[in-house]
Structure 1
Amino acid sequence: MADFRAIAQAKLQNEGFAKRMKAALCPGLYEPKGISREESRNVLANCLALCDGNRDILSAVLQEKFIAQHSPFYWAANGAEVGNYRRSQDRYPLLFKLFEALTGELSADTQEDILQALYRTERDALYGDIQAMLTSISPPYSDISSIPNSTIAISVHNPSKPYTQYRIDFRITKFFDRLLVDSEITFRSFLASGSLWTLRAVSEAEPQSQGPQSWHLELTEFRSSELEATYNPLLILAYGGTVYSKARSVKLWINPADGSQEVAMYHQFSRPNTTLPHTMRLGIRNENLATFYENPYIGTDRSLSGIIVISLDGNRY
């Protein structure tokens, strides 16, 4: 079986081929206002012609980092949005044409390259739309439930400069139905503050004493652009893994359905040098919120909603 990556690397060693491929991609990667779907199709057609019509070779070439130390996928994810379309396929047509050009799985290295672009641009909506393609870097996620017609929504509001505080809204319908039947609920991972995060609601084992069924929330920082494995080698020995040196704090509010007082939970990292993944357990101390019935925090469609605020301390330690 042909090693198409080796073939692609060999072709890119040819200076003439590499220059022609870069020239073919430039109209799509560097146009300030982006390019249309039809123009994106033409760009890929020109690239395919340079690969003698071999789609396997083109697929491998597009995943090589031959444009300023990055792959074309990085630059397409980092490029200009086309209009104010709702769908990512319409806002980033070249990126999705690159995905269509693949003849196999997206390599882990290319997935990491795309993630670096998303860190830089903080495009959580785009990440959410392509998360299923980033299987090597995204936390496991499944929306399969025994409860029909239950919906989960999570959205990130990008802050204004200096980017020190991020707000995330979440909502799930039939919340306690799913918690009772499935024991846990996992939201899709999201991008905020230069990191990938996951939120879970977990039903705990029934307490020995009489009382309401207990549950808690878990917020996990899964990956981060702030990793500093080489910042201080002694930290690696002390903490046994990659670390970053920025302190963070998390606040979470559960919205009441009847206008009463919201429930707030707070977590601050115990020390700024934190190994990843790092999970924060946010316990439910409010008895009204903890109960599965007659709950004043459950809204229409038995929904639960809330707000997460992630704050970043930029001081290095």
Structure 2
Amino acid sequence: MIIDKQPLPDDPTPSEAPPSYETLGSLPHDYRPEKSGVGRGESVASSSSSVPPLRSDNSPPLKSPRSTTSSNKGKGRATTWFNFSSSKTTREVQTTVRGLVRDLIQQHIADADTAAASILRSCADACADNHVSLSDLLQEKSIEGHTPLYWAIVKRLPDDHQDVEAGQCPDLLTSIISFATPLKPETITEVRLACLATSDQKLFQRLRLSPEFAPVSGVNQMLLGGTIPPDEIEVEDVSSDGGAFVMSFVVPHFHKRMSVSKEVELEFIARSRMWRLAFFIAPESPYRGSDPRAGSWCISLSLIENSPPTFLDSQLLIDEAKTDPPDSASLKEPSSPPRSGFRLPASPIQPKPKSTITLRLKSNEQLEVAGRYNSGKNIVISLEDSLMGANLQYGNNPYIGSDEKLRGRLEARLGKPERDDECVIC
């Protein structure tokens, strides 16, 4: 609740004050919070934040700037709206900001992006003037045991929902992220859990493009430089089977990253579970005869976060990389034969295509997330167990394209496998 104070004679009322707390309750009834997805279109109408919107159309990674809050641009600053003037009101500022943010999320006025952004800017100004961190307040678990970011994700509609219109302006989630950065590890965990609760794979992947949510290791920064191309992941549910899905991926600089970083991890959400598919080189183990052997190139598939346990039958498929056709000019028959009398064939001999690498990933026991009382269960196989899979260990192999990208897909079905020769997805 805003605490009113009688204005002093020399304390004039600003001519352009920010929207008041009551603005939230007086917005037109035709506002439809369901109509806005995270970032598809214009940027937030805010001079205090340079965060680009989250977009679903191959947008660049989300930046993580700090919102600038203290530029005395004329009248209408938050300190006048809040009417707090001394350090004794720090607790009142915190209480008021928490209440405003709670109401914003509870009403979820996604279309009213200007009002929401203005209120958050005013909160930022009031916090700055009273030495309160708005970032900390936005990352507190102050709303029913969760952070405002968690609820902003849970209450928003997925991008592909029928009520979401293309070209809508950024919603409340984008605004809150812009004022909450830098995010704490606990907040990132909350964001991941919210994406899992809504099975929002597309939002999860867009957030993972941001270093704020998926930091790049120092080794990869040194290896690949400042512009690190992101891993591409797409998930498609198989409509004919309620427990089946296909995950397609593209991994840039696969062999280089494996040789130097020793690991490539792909995280995704499918069938109400969060998964991690990882390529890694087995480390040295103090136990002799451990499986897999140290130095082996391996693949693991596991559940992460709070995903429920399940049986799984799946296969990882990697096709031969497509090559660009050679220049037709180089295939022309020479005007005169060589002196040896040997004449090149008119058409080049086409090499026989390589077989698809097929690696079976199945669990005869339920996969489960590691917890306090258990070490977890996952699937681990060695590429050496497959004659074709072993090719991935070598440079210039036919399964990695000239662009140094590894392309593959995981076909999976929840359930206990019955036979080794049974088709995973039929």
Q: TM-score, normalised by structure 1?
A: 0.64
Asked if the contact 1:289/1:296 (under 8 Å) is kept, the reply is: no
Aligned mate of 1:44, from 93, 113, 120: 120
SS of residue in 2 equivalent to 1:189 = strand
Write the mapping of 1:144-293 to structure 2, written as runs, cut at 5 A: 144=221, 146=223, 151=229, 153-159=231-237, 164-179=243-258, 181-182=259-260, 184-193=262-271, 194-202=273-281, 216-221=297-302, 223-226=304-307, 244-257=308-321, 259-272=353-366, 274-276=368-370, 278-284=377-383, 285-291=385-391, 292=394
**Which one-letter code corresponds to 1:98 in the other structure?**
I
Asked if the contact 2:244/2:412 (under 8 Å) is kept, the reply is: yes
Aligned mate of 2:140, from 60, 64, 67: 64
Aligned to 2:189: 112
SS of residue in 2 equivalent to 1:112 = helix
CA distance in 2, matches of 1:91, 1:280: 42
CA distance in 2, matches of 1:159, 1:248: 15
Point out the structure with max Rg over C-alpha. Answer: 2
Structure 1 gaps of 5+ residues are: 1-6, 206-213, 227-243
Asked if the contact 2:111/2:169 (under 8 Å) is kept, the reply is: no
Aligned to 2:411: 309
Aligned to 1:124: 201
SS of residue in 1 equivalent to 2:249 = strand
Sort the Cα spacing of 1:49 and 1:267 in 2 relative to 1 into closer, same or farther, 3 A.
Answer: same
Sort the Cα spacing of 1:203 and 1:72 in 2 relative to 1 into closer, same or farther, 3 A.
Answer: closer
Q: 1:17 deviation in Å?
A: 7.2
Asked if the contact 2:312/2:414 (under 8 Å) is kept, the reply is: yes
**Which one-letter code corresponds to 2:118 in the other structure?**
N
Asked if the contact 1:152/1:173 (under 8 Å) is kept, the reply is: yes
**Which one-letter code corresponds to 1:268 in the other structure?**
K
In terms of fraction of residues, the more helix-rich structure is 1
Asked if the contact 1:198/1:222 (under 8 Å) is kept, the reply is: no
Q: 1:76 deviation in Å?
A: 1.8
Percent of aligned pairs with the same amino acid: 16
**Which one-letter code corresponds to 2:313 in the other structure?**
S
Aligned to 2:339: none
RMSD, aligned α-carbons: 4.3
Q: 1:168 deviation in Å?
A: 1.8
Sort the Cα spacing of 1:99 and 1:17 in 2 relative to 1 into closer, same or farther, 3 A.
Answer: closer
SS of residue in 1 equivalent to 2:120 = helix
Cα offsets for 1:90-109 (capped at 9, x unmatched)? 8754223222223654251x
SS of residue in 1 equivalent to 2:233 = strand
Q: 1:307 deviation in Å?
A: 0.4
Cα offsets for 1:224-278 (capped at 9, x unmatched)? 323xxxxxxxxxxxxxxxxx54222332111123654322111222412635254
Asked if the contact 1:255/1:306 (under 8 Å) is kept, the reply is: yes
SS of residue in 1 equivalent to 2:403 = helix
**Which one-letter code corresponds to 2:357 in the other structure?**
V
Asked if the contact 2:306/2:369 (under 8 Å) is kept, the reply is: no
In terms of fraction of residues, the more strand-rich structure is 1
Q: 1:118 deviation in Å?
A: 0.2
Sort the Cα spacing of 1:297 and 1:52 in 2 relative to 1 into closer, same or farther, 3 A.
Answer: closer
SS of residue in 2 equivalent to 1:190 = strand
CA distance in 1, matches of 2:398, 2:387: 11
Q: 1:308 deviation in Å?
A: 1.4
Asked if the contact 2:138/2:148 (under 8 Å) is kept, the reply is: yes
**Which one-letter code corresponds to 2:306 in the other structure?**
S
Cα offsets for 1:7-37 (capped at 9, x unmatched)? 99966996x876554334445xx24xx3375
CA distance in 2, matches of 1:305, 1:8: 57
Q: TM-score, normalised by structure 2?
A: 0.50
Cα offsets for 1:119-138 (capped at 9, x unmatched)? 02223343344343347xx9
Asked if the contact 1:218/1:279 (under 8 Å) is kept, the reply is: no
Aligned to 1:241: none
Q: 1:73 deviation in Å?
A: 0.5
Sort the Cα spacing of 1:312 and 1:56 in 2 relative to 1 into closer, same or farther, 3 A.
Answer: farther
Sort the Cα spacing of 1:125 and 1:202 in 2 relative to 1 into closer, same or farther, 3 A.
Answer: farther
Aligned to 2:76: none
Sort the Cα spacing of 1:219 and 1:52 in 2 relative to 1 into closer, same or farther, 3 A.
Answer: same
